[in-house]
Amino acid sequence: MHIFVERQGNEKGWYSYFHKHGGKFQTSQKSGDLKQMVRDAYGFHTKKESIAILLDEDHFDLYTVDLDFCTTDKITVRDIQEIVNERLGYIKSHFKAGGEKLFYLIDNITVDGQTKPYILGEIGTIHATLTFVFLQKRTANIIKSIFGRETSKIKIYPQSFYTVGYLKKSLHKPQLQLLYIFDEYAKVITLTHGKYTKCERINLGVRMLKDIYKENNVLPFFFKSAAEIDLNEFAKNLVIQSVDFFSETLTRWMKEFVKPGQDLIIASSLLSNKYFLERFNEQYRKTTNGFIVPLHHTSDLHTFQRQRDSDEIDVLTMLNFAQ
């Protein structure tokens, strides 16, 4: 299995490459735009290797409709296909959906008020959401220009797709907000009633925090543990000032679209920075009355024999739950 993860930030772009072999991972980062990443992926595809590509949410259009009906007969595969086709026709005619339909998902399922994992074989009053995932036309054309007729043989997902599904099931919350902080940028994914409703992005990432440390002449302390920093009171104060400035800037940006009292789940390599976690949580709580919830790898996720950074969570959830 070869997994390519698009990252944004610099002019040329870059991407992460994960190679699973013998139950273990090899990981590397490469410079290049979307076309370069897809060409790299195609190179492995020609060797008959399985390929998955995780793209930024901006490349997709997601359309969600509610399913509410009552049935006295067990729902069959044919029934599901008829429902899907009817709703797909509605979406294409009412929302002018274009691009390439990749797949659909039926979730948030209740039968007679009881939560269920599937609707197949169920009888009663059904409520669920049906989400269609479309790859935007421009992106689809780039991939098709390289893979041609073989495009259907690769797996393409929004980066956060399986992570969001994992959080919805493990936390039992239909509403959540997930903050990613990568090297070059940060983004917030918002779910309302179990549906993707918003994806916001800012060019404020780990690299900028490092630059702030550098301006305050404490860059070496970015790589030190909290115990080591505590031994130098002068440096500690400058580290706190650096983290406070970064946290305040991030919180001001999020204030427009984070609801009061909303807890914020965060996935980032910065979770290992004690001062960032403490100060950001304090700033976020003061501004929104919510709390920061670090997204660490838990025992229910197979990590494939390697210590992983928190910002690799999208790859792990895909590997754990993709069919």
CATH architecture under which domain 167-294 falls: 2-Layer Sandwich (3.30)
Given pLDDT bands bounded at 50, 70 and 90, which one contains residue 309?
low
What pLDDT score was predicted for residue 194? 74
State the pTM of this model.
0.87
Q: What is the mean pLDDT of residues 295-311?
A: 69
Give the C-alpha distances (Å, rounded to integers) separating 12 from 7, 17, 190, 192, 322: 10, 16, 28, 34, 30
Written as one letter, the residue type at 44 is F
Where do runs of H (alpha helix) occur along the chain?
Answer: 34-45, 77-94, 137-147, 161-171, 206-215, 226-229, 233-254, 274-288, 313-321
The separation between CA 84 and the C-alpha centre of its own chain, rounded to angstroms, equals: 25
Q: What is the mean pLDDT of residues 118-122?
A: 95
Given pLDDT bands bounded at 50, 70 and 90, which one contains residue 20?
low
CATH architecture under which domain 59-138 falls: 2-Layer Sandwich (3.30)
Strand order in the sheet with 60-71: 60-71, 124-135, 100-111, 114-115
- φ, ψ dihedrals at 177, nearest 5°: -130, 135
DSSP state for residue 306 in the 8-state scheme:
S
Q: Give the Cα separation of 276 and 293 in Å (integer).
A: 13
User: Which is more confidently placed, 228 or 95?
Assistant: 228
Q: Give the Cα separation of 253 and 258 in Å (integer).
A: 9
What pLDDT score was predicted for residue 143? 94
Q: What is the mean pLDDT of residues 13-22?
A: 68
